[in-house]
A and B are shown apart, each in its own frame.
Chain A
Amino acid sequence: MGAVAAPQPVTVRDPGNSRRTRNRVLTYAGLIALTAVFIAPLLWMLSTSLKSEQAATSLALEWIPGEPTTQGYQTITRAGTDSPVLRWFVNSLLAAAAHALLVVAVAAPAAYALARMHFRGKRTLFALILATLFIPPVILTIPNYITVDRLQWVDTIIALVVPGAAGAFGVFFLRQFFLGLPLEIEEAARVDGANAWQIFFRVVLPLSRPALATLVVLSFLTNWNDFLWPIYVMFSPERYVLPVGLATLQGAYNTNYPVIMAGAVIASVPVLILFVFAQRFIIEGVSRSGLKG
């Protein structure tokens, strides 16, 4: 309305401004609608986990349970249950933490040697490691099962921790980071009389804390979420990790969705908390591996 009466220069500036405002409003509306699509299923998981079996199968679309109950949680956390979710939780936590530490412990020195040292066979070794990045994991699964069986690691936590740490990602990731460190610092340390080990442990590693943290978090997540391998290497229900346990809940509790969703909530909360606090490392790790991988 005002635009009609307004003098010429204002009407020229106005459409641009209002278009920008309209675009901004549309952008926010779109992003918020998409947010709902992302949040709704997770809220539904939480709300169902707090319902009775009967309420969960009604079509009432109760986002906030009318009569909240922890039955679902009790079923899988009480003593003597066939689905010891808390046990699986501890197993997952131990396996993922041990795996993440192992990855960093073996990848960091190897990556440093590949980044900074000269030795015979370096090019060949690097090319070999590079080539295996293109090997689809499926061709390793069955031979590795036989190896793990011969080592008598089947149905033990070692099977969940060790074989995955042979992956090339950590070595690449850290090598790239080490290559980016200023060479002068290491040279100065060497002039001061430090040997390779001292330089690595006292100079390079402290400088690499963000990269090491990123690798720890990404490796933890990968292991926590790993699904195919643990299905087949773990037999005893009390040794399951959460993903495998969750899959068995689906069979054991069929349509008792509050129980299954309670399991899913227990499996989600730690990683979501980790994500909130380590978001910087996770997202930067993914984008950095994207740019340089």
Chain B
Amino acid sequence: MATQREALTTPASATSSRRDVGVATTGSTSGTGGLTPYLFLAPYFLLFTMFVLAPAVFGLWISLHEWDFLLPNKPFAGLGNYIDLFSSGSTTGAFFWQSMRATAKFTLYSVPPLLVIPLLLALILNGQFRGRTVFRAIYFAPYVLGVAVIGVLWQFVLDANIGLLNSMLGRLGIDANIAWTTATPWVWVSLVGVTVWWTLGFNAVIYLAGLQEIPREQYEAAAVDGASAWNKFWHITLPGLRPVLVLVTTLTVLASANMFGQSLLITQGAPGNETRTAIMYIAEEGLGNFRMGNATAMSYVLTVFLVLTSIAIFAFFRRFQD
């Protein structure tokens, strides 16, 4: 705890100083040398090699072939699968970029509310009042349910004709019969709303832990200086939360970019393929239609975008810090 607090108050990069502390406490106790360390590592390393290291490379190999899972021959295609994605005449390419647009839209629409609303909630829940842990648990609860449950539940709640939401709106005098799951822009409102409902508690809990690491003395000192609530937030809370903000932003962007279940269960990609996300299309192509060469090529293109996005986030927060 003490080391973390120091790390957070140090103006230099908090994460790197924290890591240094971690390395410094690494002591040698047992099993220096000999076979023992390798025996400890062996079971995990076997799984890690089989299901993480090897497939990361094997996937690249697949993407260079016309790899149909059901056909015996998998001829080498060079960069063919990639070129296909970027050539204007290809239907696969057209569908792929449509799905990439859906993913980009969803990420763009969902990330701001998923960053801001949980932060506001965490600031409120960080106060001293009875029942705060109960509220925290209630808001976190949907997260443990998983996407399948929340997907079928909200598909029902959002049904245009018999859904709870339109019925309640009707009671309020809004008889619009909104097509939440079949028409734009409502499909996006639904997907973003459901995702916020589902994962808001997760982000709030991470923020809360970050808030509790900010030393109380800083606020007390600011209060003595007569700082306003806004000043305290801007000059103490936000800088203190910086490492947590980087983490929450990265996790949220990646989670949104990997969105799959909500679209599959709530909108089924409708209208047309408007809400069919990249992951949905890649899974459909690769594991549904077994065109694995195509699909792995797409997954690497998506990965490049995700890596670039992560770099942009880190760069943004670095600039923000200086």
Interface of B is mostly: helix
CB within 8 Å: A-B pair count: 306
Q: Which of B31, B69, B154, B283 contacts A146 (CB 8 A)?
A: B69
Residue of B139, B144, B157 ringed by the most chain A CB atoms within 10 A? B144
Q: Which of A57, A197, A231, A291 contacts B162 (CB under 8 A)?
A: A57
Q: Interface extent on B, as a size class? A: 35 or more
Whether a CB of chain A sits under 8 angstroms from the CB of B148 is: yes
Which residues, 265 to 293 on A, are CB-close (under 8 Å) to B?
267-268, 271-272, 274-275, 279, 282-283, 286-288, 290-291, 293
Number of interface residues of A (CB under 8 A): 109
Interface assignment of B258: CB less than 8 Å from any CB of chain A: yes
Docked pose: A62 CA to B197 CA in angstroms? 23
Q: Say yes or no: A275 contacts B52, CB within 8 Å.
A: no
Are the CB atoms of A165 and B47 closer together than 8 Å?
A: yes
**What is the minimal beta-carbon distance from B172 to any residue of chain A, in angstroms?**
12
| A122 contact set on B, CB distance < 8 A | 37
B144 engages A274 (CB within 8 Å)? yes
Is B206 on the interface with A (CB-CB < 8 A)?
yes
Most buried by A among B55, B136, B202, B247: B55
Q: Report whether A38 and B197 are in contact in the complex, using a CB–CB cutoff of 8 Å.
A: yes
Task: Report whether B302 and A138 are in contact in the complex, using a CB–CB cutoff of 8 Å.
Answer: yes
* Set B51, B147, B206: member contacting A144, Cβ < 8 A: B51
The answer to whether residues A183 and B29 also contact, given A134-B307, A283-B137 and a CB cut-off of 8 A, is yes
A141 to B283, Cβ gap below 8 A?
yes
Instruction: Tell me whether B152 is interfacial, beta carbon within 8 Å.
Output: yes
Complex partner residue of B145 from A113, A268, A290, CB under 8 angstroms: A268
A292 to B144, CA, bound (A): 21
Please tell me which stretch of A2-10, A39-47, A69-77, A79-87 contacts chain B, meaning at least 4 of its Cβ atoms lie within 8 angstroms of it.
A39-47
Point out residues on A near B: beta carbons under 8 Å.
Answer: 24, 27-28, 30-31, 34-35, 37-42, 44-45, 48, 56-59, 61, 105-107, 109-110, 112-119, 122, 125, 128-129, 132, 134-147, 162-168, 171, 176, 179-180, 183, 186-187, 190, 195-197, 199-200, 221, 224-228, 231-232, 242-244, 246-247, 249-250, 255, 257, 260-261, 263-264, 267-268, 271-272, 274-275, 279, 282-283, 286-288, 290-291, 293
Pairs across A and B, CB under 8 Å, 26 listed = A34-B135, A35-B135, A41-B197, A107-B44, A109-B40, A113-B41, A117-B40, A122-B37, A135-B52, A138-B299, A139-B300, A142-B287, A165-B47, A166-B44, A195-B30, A227-B148, A231-B283, A232-B287, A243-B149, A247-B148, A250-B265, A255-B162, A264-B152, A286-B202, A290-B247, A293-B247
